[in-house]
A and B are shown apart, each in its own frame.
Chain A
């Protein structure tokens, strides 16, 4: 069975602080995809990153970075020098089957960046 756990329900940081959002997943498949999405107050989910199970290379995109570790089944997301615009709910998600758009989402982490 597949499962995505985001243990942090809410996080508050002061602007310019770094923050890491944790994501732990469970799957029996050897081929799977991991995603991070951002949901601002407007409601739509905004894609941030996709990583497949065969690519453990970490990635950095501007102030965002992701750390994928298969050994601990974790796919953590770090925002460096946080800004007020980063305030949103962040979801980690897992897709097991090739070509399937059936994503299993975690419960999300609400990030509030205080100016």
Chain B
């Protein structure tokens, strides 16, 4: 069974540009979450999508947005990039069942975004 796939693995952008990151969850998983990891702030929750709807949102500005498609694949978009957006962006998927709502997360290897 294929794991969580994130593309691209590395990205270099300049300030002011926008970027789109992609995440393909494990087959059958309907929940996709996004996390930002930086040396200074650590791992921080961005948002979660379940059945194409945003179910949870972290404390990030509106420049960070996401969506989920009917096949559960998800994209994350960051507009008007700032230097501080340089980070490893991790996507995680989970099965989510009514009998086990806090299912464990399976993470991808992440997209390393550098903003110059």
Contact = CB atoms under 8 A, between A and B. Distances in A.
Interface string B29-72: 00101010000001111001000000110100000000000000
Interface stretch (A10-18, A62-70, A71-79, A100-108): A100-108
B23 interface: no
A47 B102 contact: no
Contacts of A100: 48, 55-56, 102
A47 B31 CA distance: 16
A109 to B, nearest CB: 12
Contact of A47 (B55, B58, B88, B104): B104
Contact of A101 (B31, B44, B90, B109): B31
B107 A44 contact: yes
Contact of A33 (B58, B102, B106): B102
A101 B43 contact: no
Contacts, number: 66
Chain A interface size, under 10 / 10 to 19 / 20 to 34 / 35 or more: 20 to 34
- What bracket does the count of chain B residues touching chain A fall in? 20 to 34
Contact of B109 (A43, A98, A104): A43
Contact of A50 (B45, B55, B102, B112): B102
Nearest to B98: A99
Can you list the 10 inter-chain pairs with the closest CB atoms, starting with the nearest? A99-B101, A105-B43, A45-B107, A47-B104, A43-B109, A44-B109, A101-B33, A44-B107, A33-B102, A102-B56
Interface of A: 33, 35, 37, 42-47, 50, 52, 91, 93, 95, 98-108
Interface of B: 3-4, 31, 33, 35, 42-45, 48, 55-56, 58, 88, 90, 92, 94, 96, 101-110, 112
